[in-house]
Amino acid sequence: MYKVPDRKIRELLDRPFDGSDIRAILGTISPSAPASLETVAELIRACESSPDLQREVIRRADEVKKDVFDNKIKLFVPVYISNICINKCLYCAYRSPNIDMPRRMLTPDEFRAEIREVLSMGYRVLELVTGETPSLKEPGALATYVRIAREELDKVSDGNEKGEVILMSWTLDDEGFSSVKDAGLDGFYIWQETYDEKVFRDLHPDDSPKSEFKKRLEVFDRAIWKGIRKIGMGVLFGLGRWEYDVLATIDHGRYLEKTYGVCPDAIGVPRFKKADGAILAEAPNPVTDEQLKLATALYRLAFPQSHIFLNTREKLTLLIELLEGGGSEMNIACAVYPGGYTEPTKDRQFDFYSFPTETTMAKLQEKGFEFTYFENPTAVKI
């Protein structure tokens, strides 16, 4: 089971920059020779004092990404099942004590309609999202929704790409993983939020299940044991110190590679955003745009084969910069409320953008990007 090498990470970050030839180091990094944890720490320290070096790091990340993915962007769409949640994360509008938030869990029929809606828009990677909802924790309940998503996706998947059903939920137990896997789940993504245990405990009150730091840390081991090998990991930037969390995420990914031969499918770079009804009004450790760009590039250099997973918490101009510096997967349309595509609402988990699919894709195509896991909506037959 994974444990955070806290002392090692702090030592790496505390070492002064030794003046190494960063350009030479970057030249040694390639899809078959990823950056080591020590190299990433070295790059962080070097970039602290030199914007020029940071530009070099980002440029190299873009080259490495193109070696693996060309200029293709994998598109996904988040689909919320429920915003009922027993947890109390201080940064989230869906925390249980927020009684002003309207709560909704889609019925299976409502969920099927929502899935059909996003499929009709052309999307083929469905990221199912839910709060920790007691009725969904009943045996087989969550699997019902996974099965519906899989059924609807299979109906439209006669192209080259079959599409994917990804789940982002709470830390499932063995039985939970088995049932969603049997229902047709392709992958399980979950953010550690922060690998700094003290910060994690401060942000997740200990009378809620999410406060179990160790259980969250071990969730990928349990998923993999049950045959789910498509894993998405990362932190919510802004909670812990970003450099620490980048190194810990990379170390965790290396552990999965060495222990199970599983390279992360995706590494997310979500960043703290204000949420009405949350306790925290500001990020405890704010992350600037430049730091977010560097983190994206460093993940790319450490995991050339993984998707670096962007999201519409950020403006399109910044997303484009992130795509030009290592990012390879993103959403365009976005609703963060159950039923938000069939019945748009102002209720939300956090501040975000939702861009019009067609014009945004046209803008990205002008910049040379192509898309995967998307079918022309006119070709959809549901």
Q: How far is the CB of 351 from ligand SF4 (least distance, A)?
A: 14
Q: For residue 172, give Cα distances in angstroms to 175, 292, 352.
A: 8, 30, 27
Least distance from ligand SF4 to the Cβ atom of residue 152, Å: 24
Minimum CB–partner distance for residue 90 and ligand SF4 (Å)? 9
Under 8 Å between Cβ of 114 and 81: no
Smallest separation (angstroms) from ligand SF4 to the CB of 39: 32
When binding is defined by CB under 6 A, the residue of 56, 62, 114, 132 that contacts ligand SF4 is 132
SS3 for 242-300 is HHHHHHHHHHHHHHHHHHHCCCCCEEECCECCCCCCCCCCCCCCCCCHHHHHHHHHHHH
Q: Which of 41, 77, 79, 85 touches ligand SF4 by CB under 6 A?
A: 85
Q: Sort 150 into a burial class: Cβ within 10 Å, 0-12 / 13-18 / 19+.
A: buried
Is residue 210 within the footprint of ligand SF4 (CB under 6 A)? yes
Calpha distance 303→313 (Å, rounded):
23
Between 89 and 235, whose beta carbon lies closer to ligand SF4?
Answer: 89
| Piece of 83-91, 107-115, 155-163, 172-180 that binds ligand SF4 (CB under 6 A) | 83-91
Distance from C-alpha of 354 to C-alpha of 361, rounded to nearest angstrom: 13
Does position 226 interact with ligand SF4 (CB under 6 A)? The reply is: no
Smallest separation (angstroms) from ligand SF4 to the CB of 28: 39
- Contacts with ligand SF4 by CB under 6 A: the residue count is 9
The least CB distance from residue 210 to ligand SF4, in Å, is 5
Q: Is residue 92 involved in binding ligand SF4 (CB under 6 A)?
A: yes
What is the C-alpha separation between 19 and 54, in angstroms, rounded?
Answer: 15
Q: In what order do the strands lie in the sheet with 164-168?
A: 77-82, 125-130, 164-168, 187-189, 230-234, 266-268, 307-309, 329-330, 72-75, 370-372
Sole window of 33-41, 89-97, 226-234, 339-347 interacting with ligand SF4 (rule: CB under 6 A) = 89-97
Judged by CB under 6 A, the residue of 131, 304, 327, 339 near ligand SF4 is: 131
Q: Which of 37, 58, 61, 89 binds ligand SF4 (CB under 6 A)?
A: 89
Contact 253, 303 (CB under 8 A): yes
Locate tokens 């975000």: which residue?
352
Residue 133 found at the interface with ligand SF4 (CB under 6 A): no
- Rounded to an integer, what is the distance from CA 307 to the centroid of its chain? 9
Taking residues 335 to 354 in sequence order and writing x for each that binds ligand SF4 by CB under 6 A, - otherwise, the string is: --------------------
Residue 280 CB, nearest approach to ligand SF4 (Å): 12
What is the residue type of 265? D
Secondary structure class of 359 (helix, strand, coil): helix
Whole-Å CA distances, 121 to 14, 75, 302: 48, 12, 34
CB of 87 to ligand SF4, least distance (A): 4
Residue 255 or 350: the one with the smaller Cβ distance to ligand SF4 is: 350
Among 39, 87, 192, 360, binds ligand SF4 (CB under 6 A): 87
- Amino acid identity at 105: M
Distance in Å, CB of 89 to ligand SF4, minimum: 3
The correct pick among 69, 80, 94, 309 for binding ligand SF4 (CB under 6 A) is 94
With contacts defined by CB under 6 A, name the span among 82-90, 112-120, 172-180, 281-289 that binds ligand SF4.
82-90
Which stretch, 87-95, 99-107, 248-256, 281-289, contacts ligand SF4 (CB under 6 A)? 87-95
- Closest by Cα among 178, 273, 284 to 223: 178
| Residue 95 in the binding site for ligand SF4 (CB under 6 A) | yes
Please say whether the beta carbons of 295 and 269 come within 8 A: yes
What is the contact surface with ligand SF4 in residues (CB under 6 A)?
Answer: 85, 87, 89, 92, 94-95, 131-132, 210
